[in-house]
Amino acid sequence: MSISVTQPGYFTRAELSPAVASFYHDQGFCVVTDAVDTAGLNDLARETVRICRGELGDVNRSPQAVGADLTDEQLRTLPEEELIRHFLCIHHPHKISGVMHRYLAQPTIVDVLTRVIGPDVKCMQSMLFVKAAGKPGQAWHQDEDYIPTRDRSLTGAWIAIDDATVTNGCLWIIPGSHRHGVLWPQFPHNDKQYDCAGMSYQFPYDEATDAVPVEVPRGSVVFFNGYLLHKSLPNRAASGFRRVLVNHYMSAQSLLPWGSPPQGVAVAKHDYRDVVMVAGTDPYAWKGYDDVARPSVRSAGQGGCGDGRVDLPTHLQQPLTARRCQ
Ligand SMILES: O=C(O)CCC(=O)C(=O)O
């Protein structure tokens, strides 16, 4: 099956123009279908194996994460495909990999980011999804649920290392859903199709009619707004992977109150400084930069997601005070 690249919002590098930003601001996403060439994709795929083997440094395999049960000997010796099948997602690969770090500022990505965000752009996060056949997706959410930018400039750049299709668990989005500028409630779902991250609900859309799959050929980059509702389904292909490197960016003109403020620092002053500038100038450069984030392996939920996982009706029976914290 071939993937259509002539849909609205899909551009080639040669077609980059002000129309890209107009489409992005209206619909909350856009795609560049030829952003990364085959040599680049091969580099990213090779580096994924080195990261999973632990060759570049510790990836902090938490007890609930896939891969936690592998011994150091297995990490070193398992055949590549068997090895990476043990991982769902590694957070912050750019902290240990020069290749992943280089892709934070890949020229086509920076070109689009400066069109949709503005001249000054910083990156605060990378995530490397491996998602082998049989592995779960991630439930409906908005990235600003996790990374609060103050100026709503959060933008994901989702680099497809493999073709991403409905079958192998491509992104699904609700176009235009970022325009409300509202973060919808989330709850700790118990739906086994998805990993352990929260699920948004009570948003004013019908997923049966409003959600669309974003199928893309490998080498494409999907850009999406931090308020855009999106999810992915499990990889239901018979074999193979749906590998993606997702980097998150925002305007460097805004503070980033991400995570808990250090002791004694008010939320209004909190500014996460473990960031990488990828374009323009940083008005807050006087604060300096931190290097505190470490890679970590995301749980796939296959060993369970811990206590308190419920279906939506059960969640809605909980007192409001409890629901507010989830
Ligand atoms: O690619 C996926 O499976 C999920 C990615 C995602 O939701 C994100 O990057 O925010």
DSSP string computed for 181-236: -----EE-B--TTB-SS-EE---S--HHHH-EEE-B-TT-EEEEETTS-EEE----
Q: What is the pLDDT of residues 107-153, one digit of tens each?
A: 999 999 999 999 999 999 999 999 999 999 999 999 999 999 999 99
Q: How far is CA 321 from CA 307, 324, 325, in A?
A: 18, 5, 7
- Position of tokens 């808990």? 260
| Top mutation candidate among 31, 130, 131, 171 for ligand 1, by most atoms within 8 Å of CB | 171
Q: How far is the CA of 300 from the centre of ligand 1 (A)?
A: 13
309 alpha carbon, distance to own chain's centre: 23
15: CA distance to ligand 1 center in Å?
Answer: 26
- Is the pLDDT at 239 greater than 90? The verdict is yes
CA proximity to 5, closest of 221, 211, 231, 159:
221
Cα–Cα distance, 183 to 78 (Å, whole number): 42
Q: Which atom of ligand 1 is nearest to the CA of 248?
A: 9
pLDDT at 326: 72
The C-alpha atoms of residue 148 and residue 159 are separated, in whole angstroms, by 22
- Architecture category of domain 10-324 in CATH: Sandwich (2.60)
220 lines ligand 1 (CB under 6 A): no
Rounded to an integer, the average pLDDT of 307-315 is: 89
Q: What is the pLDDT of residue 109?
A: 98
Nearest atom (ligand 1) to Cα of 137? 3
The set of residues, in sequence order, having a beta carbon less than 8 Å from that of 1 and lying 6+ positions away, is: 165
Q: Which sequence spans correspond to the domains of the chain?
A: 10-324
- 232 in contact with ligand 1, CB cutoff 6 A: yes
In the chain, pLDDT over 70 holds for what percent of residues?
97
State the pLDDT confidence band at 1, using cuts at 50, 70 and 90. Answer: low
Q: Best of 127, 163, 200, 220 to mutate for ligand 1, by most ligand atoms within 8 A of CB?
A: 127
pLDDT band (50, 70, 90) for residue 232: very high
Phi–psi pair at 114, nearest 5 degrees: -70, -25
Does residue 246 have its Cβ closer than 6 Å to ligand 1? yes
Mean pLDDT calculated for residue range 48-74: 81
The structure tokens 């400084």 sit at 273
Ligand 1 neighbour 244 (Cβ under 6 A): yes
Question: Does 170 have pLDDT greater than 70?
Answer: yes
**Res 69 pLDDT > 90:** no
Nearest-angstrom CA–CA distance, 293 and 273: 10
Q: 235: closest CA among 171, 186, 292, 296?
A: 171
Token look-up 């912050």 returns 92
Q: Cα–Cα distance between 33 and 164 in angstroms, integer?
A: 12
> Is the confidence at residue 68, as pLDDT, over 70?
no
Q: Show the tokens assigned to 226.
A: 């931090």
With the CA atoms of 144, 147, 148 and 154 taken in that order, what torsion angle do they form, in degrees rounded to the nearest 10? -60
137 lines ligand 1 (CB under 6 A): yes
Q: Mark out the alpha helices in 212-319 (DSSP H runs).
A: 312-316
Ligand 1, atom nearest to 141 Cα: 7
d(CA 53, CA 56): 8
How much is the mean pLDDT over the chain?
Answer: 94
> Cβ atoms within 10 A of the Cβ of 313, count?
7
Q: Is the pLDDT of residue 67 over 70?
A: no
Pocket test for ligand 1, best of 128, 144, 146, 230 (most atoms within 8 A of CB): 230
Task: Label residue 63 by pLDDT band (50, 70, 90).
Answer: low
**pLDDT at residue 323, rounded to an integer:** 85
Distances (CA, A) of 259 to 138, 146, 205, 317: 21, 9, 30, 29
Alpha-carbon gap, residue 209 to 145, rounded angstroms: 24
Give the separation between CA 169 and CA 10, rounded to whole angstroms.
19
pLDDT grade for 66, boundaries at 50, 70 and 90: low
Average pLDDT over residues 48-55: 94
CA separation for the pair 261, 249 (Å, rounded): 20
